[in-house]
Structure 1
Amino acid sequence: MNLSNPQQNILIVGASRGIGLGFVKTLIQQNNNINVYATYRHKDTAQDLFNLQIQHSSSLNLLQLDVTEEKQIQTLAQELKQQISDLHLVINCVGFLQQDNIKPEKSLRHINSENLLTYFQVNSIASVLLAKHLLPFFRHSHPSVFAAISAKVGSIGDNYLGGWYGYRASKTALNMFLKTISLEYKRTCPHTIVVALHPGTTDTNLSKPFQRNVPPEKLFPVERTVDQLLKIIHNLTESDTGQFFSWDGSRLPW
């Protein structure tokens, strides 16, 4: 996929911090021919994004969105439709690992049904709802990408340690959603490539509680992660749709 083409419209979902904010920073600095639409959930935790918008007001547009609310995703699509007709790159960066009383389960005794539903609502269902409401924006003849940040721990074939039931299973469900989306998109908007992306362990708030045992060379700064994932996106072809890519460009087992 070539991001150097004129009039590229890009949507980064979950851009207030971490990898999402990193994508926004890199994209608006790399290319003068793009419009970036970036979503945030709460304005009070998106100050860096708003500061960036002040510096790049002509190319960066901010939209409030809670991805767990389908009505808000529908409203987002309606707002975009008033400004643009096509999207060329969408990356869903929203992900949830732990918060408050919800923590990755170490064993079956820690399983809680409400917590499991939260994992699936954020990590799985959000992407398929985005694909549903954004599909009309991909009905064009230009190469495009719909991607979501997944995780290697969502690979069934690579699961040798167990634990983390909710997070693992919700990322596995995300991968299945993306695979299934890719098949429908291939029929309805055949120039759109749908992929799952594993970013590697990145130095963000999500990974911070689990960084102690990560070797320094395997803990990536956000900037490196973004560069690596953008390289993968740049090199995608239509035959790659429905695949699960690791940060180094290799394909991960389902």
Structure 2
Amino acid sequence: MESLQIPYRAVVVGATGGLGAAFMQHLEQDPNCEQVIGLGRHSDPPVDLLDESSIERAAAWLREQAAEWDLILDATGILTIDGQGPEKRLRDLDPAVMARAFAINAIGPALLFKHLAPLLPRNRKGVLATLSARVGSIEDNHLGGWVSYRASKAALNQIVRTTALELRFSHRQAVVVALQPGTCATRLSEPYRSRAPEVLSPEYATGRLLDVLDRLDAEQSGSFHDFEGQRLPF
């Protein structure tokens, strides 16, 4: 990346997932990236989206490593829950499954933002980005179904917008955005790829997303973009 301070420091949460690992690979190979830390349930320190104290401890540990982090990427998310895929109809709704979707796809990232956003630089560009999904767009919903996943990602998009509005006062050059990586060849999408018009490799999608982030500035903070750079409706 060229638009961040050089050298820059980066954090990837969900670093062992298909997209998180691909982000890590790109950042480790970027000569402008001085340090990249991957966090997840099995990292040291561990990060569990269902345990706020683990996120708080990880944030404190990161601050011990460096006062500021230029790029913070949330590559977490869940689609199939306890063997149950997305609902096709309202009658398929399971409140426990829906609650877990919100816990991981919306509440968890909100807690990441709560504890990690203060690590962004205050006087230069910093990026806080999370992986959303096109099906989380309310305006773009023309098919219905997938209620829990759609609603949890729509909630995530609102969290992104709200975080961006708050940070504009304390971190004036911060870029807080939701990203749509497309359908990628990862474990999350494996049962649902057959209907996708295009399946991308994680390496390609994450490379394109980093290029998109490189082009954004504070004026686009609080927005939603796909891997081609197109701004998507919330």
Same fold (TM over 0.5): yes
Deviations 1:9-55, CA, capped at 9 Å, x for gaps: 11100011200000000111122542101112136xxxxxxxxxxxx
Corresponding letter in the other structure for 2:232: L
Aligned length, in residue pairs: 234
Shift of 1:232: 0.3
SS in 2 for 1:106: coil
Query: Once structures 1 and 2 are overlaid, which stretch shifts more, 138-147 or 118-127?
Result: 138-147
SS in 1 for 2:65: coil
What is the aligned partner in structure 2 of residue 101 from structure 1? Answer: 83
Corresponding letter in the other structure for 2:225: F
Shift of the 226–33 alpha-carbon distance from structure 1 to 2, 3 Å rule, reads: closer
What is the aligned partner in structure 1 of residue 171 from structure 2? Answer: 189
Q: Distance in 1 between matches of 2:224 and 2:93?
A: 27
- Specify every segment of 5 or more residues in structure 1 that has no aligned partner in the other structure, as ranges: 44-61
SS in 2 for 1:36: strand
TM-score (ref. length: structure 2): 0.95
* RMSD (Å) for aligned C-alpha atoms: 1.5
Shift of 1:135: 2.9
Q: Write the mapping of 1:6-17 to structure 2, written as runs, cut at 5 A.
A: 6-17=6-17
Percent of matched pairs sharing the same residue: 36
Residue 202 of structure 1 pairs with residue 184 of structure 2:
yes
What is the aligned partner in structure 2 of residue 57 from structure 1? Answer: none
What is the aligned partner in structure 1 of residue 28 from structure 2? Answer: 28
Shift of 1:79: 0.8
Question: Does structure 2 retain, via aligned residues, the 8 Å contact 1:198–1:247?
Answer: yes
Shift of 1:139: 4.5
Question: Does structure 1 retain, via aligned residues, the 8 Å contact 2:4–2:125?
Answer: no
Given the alignment, which residue of 195, 204, 213 partners 1:213?
A: 195
What is the aligned partner in structure 2 of residue 231 from structure 1? Answer: 211
- Specify every segment of 5 or more residues in structure 2 that has no aligned partner in the other structure, as ranges: none
SS in 2 for 1:90: strand
What is the aligned partner in structure 2 of residue 37 from structure 1? Answer: 37
TM-score (ref. length: structure 1): 0.88
Given the alignment, which residue of 74, 80, 102 partners 2:62?
A: 80
Deviations 1:38-80, CA, capped at 9 Å, x for gaps: 112136xxxxxxxxxxxxxxxxxx5421122111100001111
What is the aligned partner in structure 2 of residue 52 from structure 1? Answer: none
SS in 2 for 1:204: coil
What is the aligned partner in structure 1 of residue 150 from structure 2? Answer: 168
Question: Does structure 2 retain, via aligned residues, the 8 Å contact 1:139–1:188?
Answer: no
